[in-house]
Amino acid sequence: MISAPRPTPHPACSIAPPDLLSRLASQGTAEQRDAALSALAASASMRTQRSMLSQVRRRLGNEVANQLAGLDVTPERRQTIYDNQRQGRSFLPGVRVRGEDDPPTADADVNGAYDGSAATYDFYRDVFNRDSLDGQGMELVSSVHYGVDFDNAFWNGAQMVYGDGSGRVFVKGALAQSIDVVGHELTHGVTSFTANLAYSKQSGALNESFSDVFGSLVKQRHLNQTADQADWLIGAGTLVPALGKALRSMSAPGTAYDGDRQPDHMDGYVDLPDDNDPRNDNGGVHINSGIPNKAFYLVASALGGQAWGTAGAIWFHTLTERLQSKAQFVDAAEQTMQVAKEMFGDTAQSSVASAWQQVGVIS
Amino acid sequence: MKVSVVRGGGLAGITTRTEVSRSALPTAAAGILDRLVEEAGVREPPAPSSPSGPDQMLYEVEISDDDGTVRVRFTDADLPDGVRKLIEWVDSRAEKIHRLDV
Ligand SMILES: [Zn+2]
C-alpha cells in the first residue's frame, strides 16, 4: 500500500536524488510530479539532467516518464570498449580502452566497435523508443582483439566479443568495423531479452533473421538509405575476397559467397539436426534464415521508403511483443501479418502476406 | 598421428577444416604437438557439450593414430584452455592444410 503523499517540496530548493524524484513522480500528486520533474529541468547541467532523467525513465518506463515530464527526455547511452589482448575467454572483458565520453583511440577496431554500438543503441532508442538491449538502459560492453586470429564475433549473453580474423576466413580487423555485424550481434541481445527465440532449427533461423534484419537496418539508417538504395548484404567486405563479397544477401539468399547454401524459399529448406556437429550449424540457423530474410526484403521493397519506419516497425513489434521462444516460420508469418494490419492497415497486411507466400511459408 | 579441427557455426555459419599431420612436422615441432595433445586431454571421454549461444563457434577436434580416432566437440563457451592452445598451435603451423568443409 502506498502511503499518503507528503507536502510538496519547493522545486527550486535542492537537487533531489533520482530515487526521491522517481518516488514523487510515481506516487505523488499531479502537482508533486510536475514539481519533481521541473526541479530536475531547472537544476542541473544538461548532462546531469539527462542522466537523472534517464534513471527516472528506467524506473517508470518511457511512456510514463515522458507523460509526466512533458519534456523531450532522451535516455542516455552507456558503453565501454575493452581490449582482450588476444587472451580469450579467461581474460574477458580485458583492459578498458574507451568509455562513452572518451575520444577515439589509435585502434581502428576499438573505434569501430564504439561507433557501431553507438549507432545500434541510437537506432533502437530513436526509432523504437527502446533504451538499450534490455529496454532498461543496460551498458553496452564490447571486447575487441578476442583470442588469437579468432574468426568470429558473438554476443555471449552479457557482452560483445570480436575476434581479429585470421586472414583465411575473415579479413583481419574487419568484424569490429562492420556496422551491420555489430548491429546483428547486439540484436541477439535484444532478442534474448524479448522473444528469446530458441537457437535451434526454425526458431534459431528466426533468431538469426531478426539479427540480420536489424543489423541491416542499423546500416541503412546510418547511410540514410531507402529500401531500394540498400545493398541488403550482411558483413559486406568482411570475408576474404577469395571466399566472396559478404556473409549473406537478404535480397538474393545463396549468392553472398562461394558455398553460400541459403535458400530463398521453403522448397530449399535445409533440414539439419541440432547435434553440436559444427557442420550442422545448430540445425541450419545461418542457412534457413535466408527464407525469413527474403520475406523481410520483399515487405520492405513493397512498402518502400526507409525500411526501419515501415517493415522494420512491424518486425520489431513482432519480435518484442508477439513471438514465443519456440516460434516457427509460420508463427512469424501470422504475427507479422497481424501486426502490419494493426499498425498500418490492410494494404500493409497484404504486402506482408504476399511476401510470406512468395517464400513458401504460407500458401 | 593427425590432428583435425573442424569449425562451424559462428556469425558466418561457414565450416572449415584445418589439419596437421605429425609426419609433416620437424622433430622438435612433433614433440610440441605430442605435448599439446597430451595437455588438451582430448583422449579422455568428452563431457557433453553445452547448448550453444547465438553465433558461438562450434568445434570438433579429431585425433587419429594407430590406436584409433578420438573425436570431441565444444563451443566457444566451453572450449577448454588446453584444446584452445592446441588449435592455436595448429593454426600457426605452415604445414597445416586449411580448407572449407562442405
Ligand atoms: Zn547471429
Name which of A320, A305, A319 is nearest A351 in CA terms: A305
- In A175-293 the beta strands, taken as DSSP E runs, fall at 233-234, 248-249
Q: Inter-chain contact B55–A188, Cβ cutoff 8 Å?
A: yes
Alpha helices in A16-45 (DSSP H): 18-27, 30-43
User: Is residue A10 scored above 90 in pLDDT?
Assistant: no
B89/B82 Cα distance (integer angstroms): 11
Using an 8 Å CB-CB cutoff, list chain B residues near A282: 9, 52, 58
Q: Residue B34's domain spans which residues?
A: 2-100
Q: What is the pLDDT of residues A275-307, one digit of tens each?
A: 989 999 999 999 999 999 999 999 999 999 999
Q: How confident is the model at residue A37 (pLDDT cuts 50, 70, 90)?
A: low
Residue A280 near residue A274 (C-beta atoms within 8 A): yes
CA-based nearest distance A171→chain B, Å: 13
Tell whether A109 lies on the interface with B, counting CB pairs under 8 A: no
Q: Inter-chain contact B8–A279, Cβ cutoff 8 Å?
A: yes
Smallest Cβ–Cβ distance between A169 and the set B16, B73, B81 belongs to B16
Active-site entry in A184, A286, A317, A334: A286
Q: Which pLDDT score is estimated for A303?
A: 98
Of A41-50, A127-136, A265-274, A298-307, least confident by mean pLDDT is: A41-50
Tell whether A357 lies on the interface with B, counting CB pairs under 8 A: no
Task: Using alpha carbons only, give the angle A63, A67, A73 rounded to the nearest 5 degrees.
Answer: 75
- Reading the block at residue A279, the C-alpha cell is 557442420
Q: Which pLDDT score is estimated for A136?
A: 95
Using an 8 Å CB-CB cutoff, list chain A residues near B10: 151-152, 154
Task: Provide the sign of the torsion angle of the four alpha carbons B5, B9, B10, B13, taken in this order.
Answer: positive
The torsion angles phi and psi of B8, rounded to 5 degrees, stand at: -145, -170
Look at strands B57-65 and B16-21 and give their pairing.
Answer: unpaired
Q: Which residue has the higher pLDDT, A329 or A72?
A: A329
Number of domains in chain B: 1
Task: Provide the sign of the torsion angle of the four alpha carbons A262, A268, A274, A275, taken in this order.
Answer: negative
Residue A94 near residue A276 (C-beta atoms within 8 A): no
Q: Which pLDDT score is estimated for B67?
A: 87
pTM over 0.80: yes
User: Is residue A316 scored above 70 in pLDDT?
Assistant: yes
Q: Which pLDDT score is estimated for A6?
A: 42
CA-based nearest distance B3→chain A, Å: 16
CA-based nearest distance A119→chain B, Å: 20
Mean pLDDT confidence for A297-323: 98
Active site residue A286: yes
Average pLDDT for chain A: 88
State the helix-helix crossing angle for A201-222 and A179-193, rounded to 10 degrees: 130
Tell whether A184 lies on the interface with B, counting CB pairs under 8 A: yes
Q: What is the pLDDT of residues A229-278, one digit of tens each?
A: 999 999 999 999 999 999 999 999 999 999 999 999 999 999 999 998 99
Active site residue A188: no
Q: Which pLDDT score is estimated for B41?
A: 87
| Other Cβ atoms closer than 10 A to A39 | 22
Q: How confident is the model at residue A60 (pLDDT cuts 50, 70, 90)?
A: low
**Per-residue exposure over B18-28, b if at least 16 CB sit within 10 Å of its own CB, e if not:** bbbbbeebeee
Q: Which pLDDT score is estimated for A74?
A: 79
Q: Which residue has the higher pLDDT, A314 or B47?
A: A314
Domains of chain A: 13-193 (3.10.170.10), 201-358 (1.10.390.10)
- Reading the block at residue A238, the C-alpha cell is 568482411
Active-site entry in A76, A145, A185, A334: A185
Q: What is the pLDDT of residues A158-208, one digit of tens each?
A: 999 999 999 999 999 999 999 999 999 999 999 999 999 999 999 999 999
Name which of A206, A210, A165, A202 is nearest A186 in CA terms: A210
Q: Which residue has the higher pLDDT, A312 or A69?
A: A312
User: Is residue A134 scored above 80 in pLDDT?
Assistant: yes
Tell whether A199 lies on the interface with B, counting CB pairs under 8 A: yes
Smallest Cβ–Cβ distance between B91 and the set A89, A166, A257 belongs to A166
How close is the Cα of A60 to the center of ligand 1, in Å?
A: 32
How close is the Cα of A211 to the center of ligand 1, in Å?
A: 6
